[in-house]
Amino acid sequence: MDLPKEAPDYAKAFLEALKEAGVSIVAALPESLLGSVYRLLRQQNEIRYVQVTNEAELPGICVGAYLGGKKAVMIMENSGLRQGLEPIARFAYSHHLPVTMIMAFRGEWGERNWWGHNHAQTMEPILNALRIPYRFVREIAEIKPAIKRALLHADGSQWPVALAMTGNCVEVPAYAKD
C-alpha cells in the first residue's frame, strides 16, 4: 500500500495495521483527532471505506460484514460511543455479536475544549458498565498488535471490544504541543 509521504507516522501505521490484520471494511464517522486516518482511507481502494452520518449506523455495518465473513472495524471519536451504544449493546447482549470499535480519545489530560471533557469522563464508565473490554493505545509501535488482538478478542469472545487512541496515536492539537 503506497501511502502519501506527508501522512503522519501514526496514520500510516494505522492503515498498515488494518491491512495486516486482514480488515477489508472500515465504517467511520470522521472527526479531527484521527483526521489523517480518514483521509488515507478515502485515498485508497484496498479497504472498503464507508462513511456514515451517525455512529448508530456503525455497529450494524460491522456486524453485517462479520456475518459475511469479513473483518471490519468501526472508527469514531469517543463521543460517538453514546450515539452508537444502543445497537452495540443489543448486538452484544441479545445476539453475542462482536464489534471492534476504535475511538479517538477526546478529553485527554490537557484538553482545553470545554465540550471535550464529557467524552473522556463518560467513556470508561460506559464501557465498564457494559462489560466491554478496552485498551488505550498511546504509542505508534502499539497500533499493529492492538488492532490485531482487538479483532481476535472480539471474535473469540463474541463480544464487542474497544481501543482508545491517544498520545502519539492521534493528531496533536496545537495547544497540546510542548
Partner 1 sequence: MQRIDLIKAIAPLVTSEDLCISSIGGLWDDWWNHRPPGDNTFFPGILGSITTTALGLALALPHRRIVAFETDGSVLMNTGAMCTLGCERPPNLTVLVIDNGIYENIGGPPTHTSRNTDLAKMAEGGGCINVATVRDVSAGLAAFKRMLEDREMGYIVAKIEPGKHPWAWKDRKPTDGVEDKYRFMRHVEKLEGIVIHPGAPQN
Under the rule (CB under 8 A), what is the footprint of partner 1? 24-25, 27, 48, 50-54, 56-70, 72, 86-87, 90-91, 94-97, 155-156, 158
CB of 75 to partner 1, least distance (A): 14
CB of 38 to partner 1, least distance (A): 15
Question: Which CB atom, from 31 or from 57, has the smaller least distance to partner 1?
Answer: 57
CB of 112 to partner 1, least distance (A): 30
CB of 108 to partner 1, least distance (A): 28
Chain centre distance of CA 162: 7
Question: Which CB atom, from 87 or from 116, has the smaller least distance to partner 1?
Answer: 87
Burial status of residue 130 (CB atoms within 10 A of its CB: 0-12, 13-18, 19 or more): middle
Question: Which CB atom, from 48 or from 117, has the smaller least distance to partner 1?
Answer: 48
Q: How far apart are CA 13 and CA 160, in angstroms?
A: 23
Q: How far apart are CA 38 and CA 32, in angstroms?
A: 9
Classify 107 as helix, strand or coil. Answer: coil
Question: Which CB atom, from 45 or from 174, has the smaller least distance to partner 1?
Answer: 45
Edge-to-edge, what's the strand order for the sheet holding 134-137? 48-51, 23-28, 71-77, 100-104, 161-165, 134-137
